[in-house]
Amino acid sequence: MATAEGESSVHNVSDELFQNFYTEVKQIEKRDSVLTSKQQIDRLLRPGASYFNLNPFEVLQIDPEATDDELKKRFRALSILVHPDKNQDDPDRSQKAFEAVDKAYKLLLDPEQKKRALDVIHAGKEYVEHMVKEKRKQLKKEGKPLDVEEDDPEMFKQAVYKQTMKLFAELEIKRKEREAKEMHERKRAREEEIEAAENAKRQREWQKNFEETRDGRVDSWRNFQAKGKSKEKKNRSFLKPPKVKMEQRE
């Protein structure tokens, strides 16, 4: 489960933002043959892009079922459009856009990462299909027509798109939480390691000091004992019994 803060971050990407972005992306796709470098940079850096760009297929504007050759051609064409060398009047933004394209392409080159992305997309579609069935059940129960807005193919695609983006966002939040937890655990382990090393150092220093001063302590004790015996002998010499005088006879 995502934390309250994580869930809040997801919901901050509002449905209206998703809808507007979806509509504009589809319009861009329709005029893709004449899309300019600036338009692609704007698309990749638009508000909410940190979430939208989690879907590598959307970043590259390519169908999830595209072949590796199609993926490679699409990357080349898009990377040329947004490359900083081609957009020297806007180097910072073009660099960020190029990095987004490069990251998405490299992710899809990894079979495991690509499978994960496809799983998210399929999960989004399955969720929408399930919700459509639930809507129809409720309409049937209420005795109403079974028509739903997702019957329109475009509306269905939009619903899948929105749900997919939310799933990608939730996974990213969980990933960051996991990384933060692991970092905290590594930090704690490191602190414990340092503390243990310092304790061991103090113990070694104490032992070394103990060994170095042992002879001195032994000598001191021997001297103390020797002085004690000498004093005892001297004291005994002053405790001689008095001489007994013989009584004189009358």
Over range 80-99, report the average pLDDT. Answer: 95
Distance between CA 113 and CA 210 in Å, rounded? Answer: 60
CA distance readout (Å), 163 to 85, 108, 169, 196: 36, 21, 10, 49
* Collapsed DSSP state (helix, strand, coil) of residue 35: coil
Q: Is the CB of residue 97 less than 8 Å from the CB of residue 53?
A: no
Distance between CA 194 and CA 200 in Å, rounded? Answer: 10
For residue 61, report the phi and psi dihedrals to the nearest 5 degrees: 55, 55
Q: Which pLDDT score, from 0 to 100, does residue 107 have?
A: 95
Max avg pLDDT among 29-33, 49-53, 83-87, 202-206: 83-87
Q: Is the CB of residue 177 less than 8 Å from the CB of residue 2?
A: yes
Distance between CA 112 and CA 1 in Å, rounded? Answer: 23
Q: Which pLDDT score, from 0 to 100, does residue 12 have?
A: 47
Q: Which pLDDT score, from 0 to 100, does residue 33 have?
A: 44
Q: What is the pLDDT of residues 31-70, one digit of tens each?
A: 444 578 999 999 999 988 888 899 999 999 999 999 999 9
Q: Which pLDDT score, from 0 to 100, does residue 145 have?
A: 92
Q: Is the CB of residue 114 less than 8 Å from the CB of residue 67?
A: no
Q: Is the CB of residue 165 less than 8 Å from the CB of residue 11?
A: no
Q: Which pLDDT score, from 0 to 100, does residue 208 have?
A: 80
Tokens 């129809």, residue?
Answer: 136
**Whole-number mean pLDDT of the chain?**
81
Tokens 């002998």, residue?
Answer: 233
3-state DSSP helix/strand/coil percent for the chain, to nearest 5? 80, 0, 20
Sign of the alpha-carbon dihedral angle for 146, 147, 152, 155: negative
Q: Is the CB of residue 93 less than 8 Å from the CB of residue 43?
A: no
- Threshold 0.75, pTM exceeds: no
CA distance readout (Å), 28 to 37, 44, 86, 112, 215: 12, 12, 20, 30, 89
Distance between CA 239 and CA 76 in Å, rounded? Answer: 114
Q: Is the CB of residue 58 less than 8 Å from the CB of residue 168?
A: no
Distance between CA 161 and CA 190 in Å, rounded? Answer: 43
Distance between CA 44 and CA 48 in Å, rounded? Answer: 10
* Collapsed DSSP state (helix, strand, coil) of residue 230: helix
